[in-house]
Each structure stands twice: as C-alpha cells, then as structure tokens.
C-alpha cells in the first residue's frame, strides 16, 4: 500500500508545472474580474482595483517564489484580451511579475507571518507589500505605454497614479481576504451567533446606503468595519473590506450615488481614499486585537505551567499551606466578629 501511494505521487517537476499553471489561471481569472469595472484615462485602460496582484502575492507567500512564471503567463493572457501584443508590452510583463516578487522578498526579509497576528505584519503588508512593492509595476508599465507611443508623456502621472493605486488596492483588499480564507473554519461560539448575524445584517443594510446614496455617507462603513475588527478580528473585517471595495468601485465607475457629480479624477481619488482607509483600518486594528489576545493566552499558559511546576516540586505542601492560610484568615475573621458581653458603665454598687 505504501509503495502504491508513493507511485501515485507526481514527480516534483510535474508538481511545479501544475503550480505555475494554476497561478497563471488564477491571475488571469482575477484580472478578468478586475476588468469588469475599467476606466479610460488618457487613452489607457486602468482598473481601480487589480485583484491579480493580491492573488499573485498570496500565491508567493503560500507556495514560494517558484510560481513566478505563472504571474508572467497570467499577465500575458490579460494583455491579449485587451489587444494585440506589441514589443513594448514586454515591459508590462516584467513589471507585473517583478512587483509581487519584490513585495514577497521584502516581506520575507522583515519576518512577515501569513497569520497576520502581529501589528508589525499588518504594517509590513501595507507599506512594503502594497505601497512600496507596487511602485515597480506602475512605473515600468506606464513607461512602456509612453515608449510604445500609446501615451503622451504629459499623461505619465495620471496613468502612473491610477496604475499604482489599483495594484496596491489589490494587495490591501485581496491578500488579507485570501489569507483568512485559507485557514477559515466555521467555528463561532454559539453565544456569538446572534452578534455575528446582527453584524452581517447591519453590513448588508448600511454599506449599500453609504455607497449608493447621493449624500456623502461613505463614512458610515467605518463603524461597521470597527465592529467587525474588534469582535471578529481579521476573519470578520477582511471580507467586509472586500464587500465595501466592490460596491464602491461599482458605484464610482457607473457614476451613481455619491460619485455621480464628480469628474473621473475626483472619483478615483475618493474611491482609492475609501478603499485604502478601510483596508488600513481593517489590517491594523485586527492585528492589534489579535496580538493582545495572543499575549493574554501566552500569559495564562505560562501561569498554568508555573502552577504545575510548583505542584510537582511540593505536591503536599502547596495544598496544606493553602488550607492553613485559609483557616488562619477565617479564624481572624471569626475573632473580629465575636464580641463579649458589655460591662455596664457607672458607679459601683456596694
């Protein structure tokens, strides 16, 4: 039986190829979802949220850097869906591949943990994985557009900022969700089900109102987000951030709700400010709560272990001493509580 199971296993090379192909399919599929809500800036197609960067970084964190060719293949497929391939698109292939790989290397350099259970992990994902790492893809990609003549030099900063924001939001919104989804277990204590249900209902009611209303009510999502992060940590806040981002992007690209009376640049700025603020709040607040919870659990475990060590060293003395101390305290309370008869005061009678 052991030999047959070993024979059924694929060789390492075949497993590596399957991982690369799976990475390519996942990257391409996430890119197609992002292109459902695309905008045209200076004649170039950009997306407010590029989920593929989050998918790529998550795959690198879970499977290792060996899947990087899948990112290149997925990028190639996304380019071909938008138009014919030209030599300048090689820069886009290089930038989209290097950005998540460099983000992965920087995160590994600082000891990033995929559990996201420390504040430093949340800060590293925000500033190294998203904001710093995605500078590469935005810069190389925009330069490729200019070199190919598809973009005038004067439109560099408009495309660059939109490209960088979309890639960074992909990491901030999608990567935490996928990391949570990887270790998701539906184990909520029975007494917390009413609160979880109330949170879901509140999110389903408040979020569409905040994003679709013609009034400026986007701030209404933050009380719900804080509730989710404080009570359910990242498994509660990461899905909600993704929900908020999807609704807000849909409203901004369709020019409805609070985004209806603004031009394209104003809509993109407001949208990315909302997505970035929500992702930052979710990551940092959830990381703080999780870290404090883990510290408390470690302290309780250390106290239990210390009590077991003391009990093993002096099994009888500890219990005897405790009983003796309790008896002494009870005796003192009894002595203080008993009063003798009072002697009447006044002149003595002969």
Task: Report the pLDDT value the prediction gives residue 316, as an integer from 0 to 100.
Answer: 56
Residue 343 CA, distance from chain mean position: 77
The confidence score (pLDDT) of residue 318 equals 54
Nearest CA to 49 out of 176, 166, 157, 186 is that of: 166
Of 41-45, 230-234, 327-331, 340-344, the range with the highest mean pLDDT is 230-234
Average pLDDT estimate for 260-269: 78
Output the pLDDT for position 343. Answer: 47
Q: What is the pLDDT of residue 134?
A: 94
pLDDT of residue 150: 81
Tell me the average pLDDT across 50-72: 95
Three-state DSSP at 84 gives coil
pLDDT of residue 53: 96
- pLDDT of amino acid 218: 85
SS (H, E, C) 60-114: HHHHCHHHHHHHHHHHHHHHHHHCCCCCCHHHHHHHHHHHHHHHHHHHHHCCCCC
For residues 208-228, give the mean pLDDT.
88
Cα angle 191, 197, 201; round to 5 = 160
Is the pLDDT at 348 greater than 90? The verdict is: no
| Cα–Cα distance for residue pair 22/60, rounded to 1 Å | 12
Q: Residue 132: its pLDDT value, please?
A: 94
Alpha carbons 263 and 280: distance in angstroms, whole number: 26
Q: How many residues does the chain have?
A: 350
Local structure of 10: helix, strand or coil? coil
Contact partners, residue 161, CB within 8 Å, separation at least 6: 138
* Per-residue model confidence (pLDDT) at position 269: 84
Kindly list the distances between the CA atom of residue 53 and the CA atoms of 104, 221, 276, in Å, as whole numbers in the listed order. 11, 25, 15
Range in 83-92, 287-296, 336-345 with the lowest mean pLDDT: 336-345
Give the range among 21-30, 33-42, 178-187 with minimum mean pLDDT: 178-187
Query: Phi/psi class of residue 318: alpha, beta or left (left: φ > 0; alpha: ψ in -120 to 50)?
Result: alpha
Average pLDDT, the chain: 84
How large is the average pLDDT for residues 264-284? 87
Please report the pLDDT score of residue 133 as a whole number: 93
Taking residues 105-128, report their average pLDDT: 92
- In the block, tokens 């008896």 appear at 327
pLDDT higher at 210 or 102: 102
Any idea which of 10-19, 213-222, 255-264 has the lowest mean pLDDT? 255-264
What does 284-348 look like in DSSP terms, one character per residue? HHHHHHHHHHHHHHHHHHHHHHHHHHHHHHSHHHHHHHHHHHHHHHHHHHHHHH--PPPPPPSPP
Question: What percentage of the chain exceeds 90 in pLDDT?
Answer: 44
Dist CA 213 CA 247 (whole Å): 12
**pTM, two decimal places:** 0.81
Q: Given a cut of 60, is residue 94 above it in pLDDT?
A: yes
Minimum mean pLDDT range among 245-254, 276-285, 324-333:
324-333
Output 350 or 31, whichever has higher pLDDT.
31
Query: How far apart (Å, rounded) are the C-alpha atoms in residues 266 and 169?
Result: 17
What pLDDT score was predicted for residue 334?
Answer: 55
Q: What is the mean pLDDT of residues 325-340?
A: 57
Tokens in use for 251? 């409203």
pLDDT value of residue 106: 96
Beta-strand runs (E) in 24-176 = 39-41, 44-46
What average pLDDT does the segment 152-156 reach?
Answer: 84
Asked whether residue 308 carries a pLDDT value surpassing 60, the answer given is: yes
Longest dimension (CA), the chain: 129
Mean pLDDT for 132-160 is: 89
**Tokens 């190829």 label which residue?**
17
Mean pLDDT is lowest, of 173-177, 253-257, 319-323, for 319-323
pLDDT value for 254 = 79
Predicted confidence band of residue 326 (pLDDT cuts 50, 70, 90)? low
Per-residue confidence (pLDDT) for residue 2, from 0 to 100: 45
pLDDT of residue 341 exceeding 60: no
* Contact of 285 with 229, CB cutoff 8 Å: yes
């Amino acid at each position: 039986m052991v030999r047959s199971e070993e024979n059924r296993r694929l060789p390492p090379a075949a497993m590596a190829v399957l991982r690369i192909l799976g990475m390519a399919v996942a990257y391409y599929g996430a890119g197609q979802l992002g292109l459902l809500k695309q905008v045209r800036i200076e004649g170039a197609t950009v997306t407010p949220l590029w989920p593929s960067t989050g998918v790529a970084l998550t795959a690198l964190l879970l499977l290792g850097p060996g899947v990087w060719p899948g990112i290149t293949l997925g990028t190639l497929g996304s380019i071909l869906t938008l138009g014919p391939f030209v030599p300048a698109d090689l820069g886009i292939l290089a930038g989209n591949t290097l950005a998540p790989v460099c983000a992965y290397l920087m995160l590994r350099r600082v000891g990033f943990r995929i559990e996201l259970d420390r504040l430093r992990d949340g800060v590293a994902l925000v500033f190294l994985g998203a904001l710093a790492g995605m500078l590469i893809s935005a810069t190389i990609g925009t330069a490729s557009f200019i070199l190919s003549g598809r973009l005038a030099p004067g439109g560099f900063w408009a495309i660059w900022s939109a490209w960088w924001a979309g890639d960074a939001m992909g990491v901030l919104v999608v990567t935490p969700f996928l990391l949570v989804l990887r270790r998701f277990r539906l184990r909520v204590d029975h007494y917390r089900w009413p609160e979880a249900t109330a949170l879901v209902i509140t999110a389903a009611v408040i979020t569409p109102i905040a994003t679709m209303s013609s009034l400026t009510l986007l701030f209404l999502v933050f009380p719900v987000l804080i509730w989710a992060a404080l009570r359910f940590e990242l498994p509660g806040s990461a899905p909600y951030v993704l929900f908020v981002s999807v609704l807000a992007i849909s409203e901004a690209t369709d020019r409805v709700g609070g985004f209806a009376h603004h031009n394209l640049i104003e809509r993109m700025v407001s949208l990315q400010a909302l997505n970035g603020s929500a992702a930052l709040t979710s990551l940092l607040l959830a990381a703080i709560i999780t870290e404090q919870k883990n510290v408390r659990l470690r302290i309780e475990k250390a106290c239990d272990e210390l009590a077991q060590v003391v009990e093993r060293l002096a099994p009888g003395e500890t219990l005897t001493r405790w009983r003796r101390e309790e008896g002494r305290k009870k005796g003192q309370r009894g002595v203080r509580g008993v009063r003798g008869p009072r002697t009447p005061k006044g002149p003595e009678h002969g």
